[in-house]
Structure 1
Amino acid sequence: MRLPLFLTALCALAACAPPAQVSKNHPPMAVGVGFGDPSAYRALAMPSGGSSRTQDFMDLTFAMENGRGLETFSRFEGPVTVALRGNAPPTAAKDLAALIGRLRNEAGIDISPATGPATITVEFASRAELRRLAPTAACFVVPNVSSLADYRRLRGSKRVDWATVTRRESAAIFIPSDTSPQEVRDCLHEELAQALGPLNDLYRLSDSVFNDDNFHSVLTGFDMDMLRMTYSPQLSSGMSREEVAARLGTSPVVGPGNPPDWTHAIEAALGKTGSLTTRKVAAERALAIAQASGWQDGRLAFSYFAVGRLMAGSEPVRALDAFDRAALLYARLSGGELQLAHIDMQLAAMALAGGLPEEASRLADRAMPVVKRHENAALLATLMLIKAEALEKLGNPSAAAALRMDSAPWARYGFGPDSQVKARMRDIAAVADRAAKG
């Protein structure tokens, strides 16, 4: 999986090398974190015809991430079962059970766990093995197979082409076994949602996992609405785009999705290849395209965020301006509070590096409740460790030590084994050291 956005930024600020992948010989330990019960979700009726939500549904349902259009609506008909296979990490079963419970209660889907043959199989294999099949994917879902062996045999055939599916009968989700518990959970949420429903991602959606910006890591209320619409009794597998649009009272025209030029620029800016200079140029290009297009949605905000993230270590004034403009946009968008918390983390790290521990602590305190609500343990641990370093700078080492201890369960869930947790602690300490050396 791509490095989480906040870790990449910390590495840029601390001039550290990208951390090594978790070793498959040292799988993540079983850890327990308590996010509390998900906020109550009120089941909504089918949105009124022509609403923005029905158009979002059409745009997500009748296109794929690569821009390829789909002419036929498909879903599972009847009860859905989900089973784990392979070297499943210790936390996977609990996280899957919680997700299935939410899908039943919030999206109204008849779905349950299974131990034998299942409608949807979740198979775990080593990251290296999965990369040989899908080099750029952290995890992925395939129709009409029930195992990795099936996929190897059918790879490249129409049988595993989502565009040929008119009624979903089976699917398999493939997830690395040698990764952090949080990444496993994130893969479960995103891939199970796509196995059940929409196959597209749209950067304009600020409150959704159906978005490649990676801010949201668990299914949101918007996502549950999309899945509830997918399994509405008004719809059925095999319907044409026009038939679905007529049932929803909306236009059958599907939006253009993510413009290729902007998408390529964002991917180049936030990818793991290319020099920092090249990536900065790509971020500026994405921002210029967003501005020229007149967007005022998540795409413009994310463009500013990308510029700020890449400029934070070398051009702090430019970075602060970009983060400020991103924050103004996200504050107006549904679900934007999590993006604002990510910006606060970036600003807290910059404040720590700039010798402003009081500001770093204030920003961390503001972001932590939001991050906990959105169940992002890795980001929560990062904020706690930033605040711990700030407390050290403020002359309160005992409070800093206590906070580091409190962060440990979140860090283990978010990052994996102790070696990874300690690496993150060193990265953040290196950010704090910049102030002393500056």
Structure 2
Amino acid sequence: MRHWLFAAGLFLSACGGMPEAEVAMERPHWLVIDPLPQMKVFSDSAATRPQRPNAEIARDFLELTFQMESGRRLERFSRFEGPITVSMTGPVPATAEADLARLLTRLRHEARIDIHETEGPAAVSIEFVERRRMQALVPTAACFVVPRVTSFETYRRVRREAQVDWATLQEREQVAIFIPADTSPQEVRDCLHEELAQAIGPLNDLYRLSDSVFNDDNFHTVLTGFDMLILRATYAPELRSGMTRAEVAAVLPKLLARINPKGGRATAPAPEDPTPRPWIEAIEEALGPTGSDRRRHAAAVRALGIARAEGWQDARMGFSLFGFGRLGVADEMDLSVAAFIEAVRIYLTLPGGEIHTAHIDMQMAALALSSGQAPEAILLCNRAIPVASRAENAALLATLLMIRSEALRLSGHAAEARASRLDSLAWARYGFGDEAEVRSRMSEIAALTPSRPSLALAVTDNGDSG
């Protein structure tokens, strides 16, 4: 299940002094009114293989596979046996077909799974539903996956019955994924990656994983090399549906040595490293979509305190620091910057941590821009832009490009500013969706610039703003 967390979005309001964006088409108060260029999309790519020892990967596989996000244990291993078919129904967004095709190609090539799209009934049914209908049943979910149903209407009727209890599965035969039809192309793509991975593979998320979409921090938005390895192991011939945790643990060392020889030979999985429920509750309250600023800040302080008490130096500590910095920027600038810097230090030591540092660079660049430090903002953006591109995060990429554009404009580099601005708008169409949302998000960034007037500005033909 993909949750709504502030870490997944690009909210800059905590940087201070930013007006609330007006998104009504009838009376726009946008600072960005340029004609929108054609949407940019990502081309074919493959993730790098994980750079971690197989003993750790074995431990992660067991925790991802034999436990649910709620902490509930699963007694049996389950997967699809045989070829997997996938279909899409409902008001399918225009970009979904291409994004699903790319994903299925990666699953076939990288995870070695026999999976194909089909028309009509399929083992995995992806239904697009209005967001309001989805959130009426599951308010905190951006999208979700359910066993033994084929439609949203069926799920609505049986959602409290044992039929949709993952713990009762011995083998997967029918799964449905529900995704909002009225959301951005990137959110659709992200849901396809995470929910299809859980539909055919592990059901759990682990906050300590820095190189995986199986983590509710939502920093990674497409399946990583680690994720593909986990899915490849899930469908390895050494495993079969119905196996117990002990049976799977016994074969994992040889299995992983075969499919991931660079990870070394492990005699047994690494020791478990559970995340205490109070920390999970605190971080989700801090970065969730509800609650007052005061309560969220208190929750962030609580999460950071637990992380320090646990002695973590992994993604959980990094995320705790990120949350503290993110929620304390307006009132505690020095403490927030220090938290961001410490988080970067941790993330740079972790596999896959580059995208986390890019998010922090974006926050720091926004702070630099708002205080008129254009060279610093440009430096931070230039460092983060290639990372966001490799991670296929169009929303982050668009935000960085717009901050860079504003900083270049402040520095007197009009032509470069215009080019960065147009790139930003093209990626924003994929990352944020419809025109109102694109202009609203980009105007929030433009409003950070100290010299910006309150009236809407457009880029003129000579590349200058006027």
- Smaller-chain TM-score range? over 0.9
Structure 1 residues 346 and 252 mapped into 2: Cα distance closer, same or farther (>3 Å)? closer
**Is 2:95 the partner of 1:91?**
yes
Pairing partner for 1:164 from 157, 161, 168: 168
Is 1:37 the counterpart of 2:59? The answer is no
Query: Equivalent residue for 2:28?
Result: none
Output the CA distance in 1 between the equivalents of 2:11 and 2:302. 19
What CA distance in whole angstroms lies between the structure 1 residues aligned with 2:119 and 2:272?
40
Amino acid at match of 1:421: V
Asked if structure 2 preserves the Cα contact closer than 8 Å seen for 1:73 and 1:239, the reply is yes
| Alignment check: 8 A CA contact 2:37 2:422 kept | no
Could you tell me which of 293, 296, 307 is aligned with 1:276? 293
Pairing of 1:72-91 with structure 2 (within 5 A) = 72-91=76-95
CA contact (8 A) 1:31 1:413 kept: no
**3-state DSSP of counterpart to 1:121:** strand
244, 251, 274: which one pairs with 1:257?
274
Please name the residue that 2:320 is paired with: 303
Tell me which residue corresponds to 1:229.
233
CA offsets 1:216-244 (integer angstroms, 9 cap, x no match) = 00000000011011001000001111111
Distance 2:72 2:311 in 1: 25
Name stretches of at least 5 consecutive residues in structure 2 with no aligned partner.
Answer: 26-35, 254-266, 455-466
Matched, 1:373 2:390: yes
How far apart are the structure 2 equivalents of 1:181 and 1:234? 37
Q: Which amino acid is 2:14 matched to?
A: A
Distance between the aligned counterparts of 1:146 and 1:252, measured in 2? 36
CA distance in 1, matches of 2:218, 2:382: 22
Aligned to 1:405: 422
When residues 41 and 286 of structure 1 are mapped into structure 2, their CA distance, relative to the original with a 3 A threshold, is closer
**Corresponding residue SS for 1:139:** strand
> Which of residues 410, 420, 430 in structure 1 aligns to 2:447?
430
Give the residue type in structure 1 aligned to 2:432.
Answer: F
CA RMSD of aligned residues (A): 2.5
Q: How far apart in 2 are the matches of 1:42 and 1:138? A: 28
Q: Distance in 2 between matches of 1:203 and 1:15?
A: 31
Q: Which amino acid aligns with 1:203?
A: Y
Amino acid at match of 1:371: A
Instruction: With the length of structure 1 as denominator, give the TM-score of the two structures.
Output: 0.92
Deviation of 1:257 after TM superposition, in Å, equals 3.5
CA pair 238-253 structure 1, distance change in 2 beyond 3 A:
farther
Secondary structure, aligned partner of 2:194:
helix
Which residue matches 1:181? 185
CA 1:180–1:30 in structure 2 vs 1: closer, same or farther (change >3 Å)?
farther
> 1:72, 1:238 within 8 Å by CA — same for their partners in 2?
yes
Q: Residues 20-419 of structure 1 correspond to what in structure 2 (within 5 A)?
A: 32-39=39-46, 41=48, 51-249=55-253, 255=272, 257-419=274-436
- Which residue of the partner structure matches residue 261 of structure 2? none
- Write out per-residue CA displacement over residues 406-426 of structure 1, whole angstroms, 9 at most, x where no aligned residue: 222210000001111110121
CA contact (8 A) 2:6 2:287 kept: no
What's the secondary structure of 2:372's corresponding residue? coil
Change in 2 beyond 3 A, CA 1:434/1:229: farther
Question: Matched residues in 1 for 2:100 and 2:37: separation?
Answer: 15
Q: Distance in 2 between matches of 1:313 and 1:241?
A: 47
Q: Residues 16 and 59 (structure 1 numbering): CA distance in 2 closer, same or farther, change over 3 Å?
A: farther
Note the C-alpha offset of 1:32: 4.4
Q: Secondary structure at the match of 2:449?
A: helix
The residue type equivalent to 1:160 in the other structure is: V
Partner of 1:268, secondary structure, is helix
Structure 1 residues 390, 203: CA separation in 2 closer, same or farther (over 3 Å shift)?
same
Is 2:74–2:167's contact at 8 Å kept on the other side of the alignment? yes
Question: Paired residue for 2:7?
Answer: 5
Q: For the residues of structure 1 that align with 2:227 and 2:74, how far apart are their CA atoms?
A: 20
Q: For the Cα contact (< 8 Å) 1:270–1:279, is it kept in 2?
A: yes
More moved, 2-11 vs 288-297: 2-11
1:322 partner letter: A
Q: What is the CA–CA distance in structure 2 between the aligned matches of 1:403 and 1:102, rounded to whole Å? A: 31
Q: Specify every segment of 5 or more residues in structure 1 that has no aligned partner in the other structure, as ranges.
A: 23-28
Given that residues 37 and 425 in structure 2 are in contact (C-alpha distance below 8 angstroms), is that contact kept between their aligned partners in structure 1? no
Question: CA 1:43–1:52 in 2, change beyond 3 Å: closer, same or farther?
Answer: closer
When the two structures are aligned, how many residues end up with a matched partner? 428
Q: Distance in 2 between matches of 1:393 and 1:32?
A: 26
Residue number in structure 2 paired with 1:26: none
Secondary structure of the residue aligned to 1:223 is helix
CA contact (8 A) 1:43 1:106 kept: no
More relative contact order, 1 or 2 (CA 8 Å, 6+ apart): 2
In 1, Cα distance between equivalents of 2:18 and 2:50: 47
